[in-house]
Amino acid sequence: MATVFVTRRFPGNALARIAAAGHTLDLWEEDRPVDRDALLARASVADALICTLTDRIDGELLDACPRLKTVANYGVGYDNVDVAAAAARGIAVSNTPDVLTDATADLAFALLLAAARRLPETMAVVTEGRWGSWEPAGYLGHDLSGATLGIVGAGRIGEAVARRAAGFDMEVLANTSRGGTPLPELLERSDFVSLHVPLTPATRHLIDADALARMKPTAILVNTARGPVVDTDALIAALHAGEIGGAALDVTDPEPLPADHPLLAAPNVLVLPHIASATTRTRTRMTELTVDNVLAGLAGRPLPQAVPVP
């Protein structure tokens, strides 16, 4: 039967279905991403590959994998996979949309709330023993009720964020590839800007120095999409200059972010280690869908969640 190389351990028991179907499961067991040499070596004898956003699946790797039929990417984003190169070699690529929509929308809204009410800063006041008397003018944040939320990329996740915003009586502006509020207008009018676009050549550094300069000096930028959608150097400069009020990020460029990176020293910034889909239910469902895609590909059936060829 077939060999399936899996580049990380995943939550849930769905991987056992690969062996139950008679295939050989080759699992990377270490608590770190697979290095490039090991990825090339292990994938070269595989019929299917289950990978994550940290694995670069490019033409070089695909050329080294003559048996490969399916690449199943664990996640909704697939900018780590050269889909066109895979298609040119007859290799199908899949992802895991839908199942992480609510978890990601929840985290985007959690970041929005945390930044608006200055939660990291005020938590530090308590844990560092700096909590004095109650001050009427102390630690003033921003109201969500009545504020304007700009959603850039109103796909499944963006729409889910908009539904949550409705519960806070926020005005929602949306910009998509199909239209909506023009991006310059959205940036100028919004009190909060939440990013939900895939990483493509067109969206890389979509939020650059010019875009940041359009935002209100009190506005907060939230990014749960991909780090390179934002120009990191421009964001650091904007935060230091007070061009925007703050940034709350689950994704960064680079990623992971080194502890001494200048972004972490910028004012009013909140950074998380890419945990948008990190709930037990969501990650387990992602594993199940990934295995569904692999088993379908190995059986010669269409993938349930095939990535379209560009």
Cβ neighbours of residue 257 under 8 Å, at least 6 residues apart?
A: 263, 264, 271
274 a catalytic residue? yes
Cβ neighbours of residue 216 under 8 Å, at least 6 residues apart?
A: 188, 190, 191, 244, 245
The number of residues in the chain equals: 310
Phi first, then psi, for residue 53 (nearest 5°) are -60, -20
163 a catalytic residue? no
Longest distance between any two alpha carbons in the chain, whole Å:
70
159, 171, 185, 255: which one is catalytic?
255
274, 283, 285, 288: which one is catalytic?
274
118, 164, 226, 285: which one is catalytic?
226
142 a catalytic residue? no
8 Å CB contact between 188 and 163: no
Cis before 254? omega within 30: yes
Report the catalytic residues.
Answer: 226, 255, 274
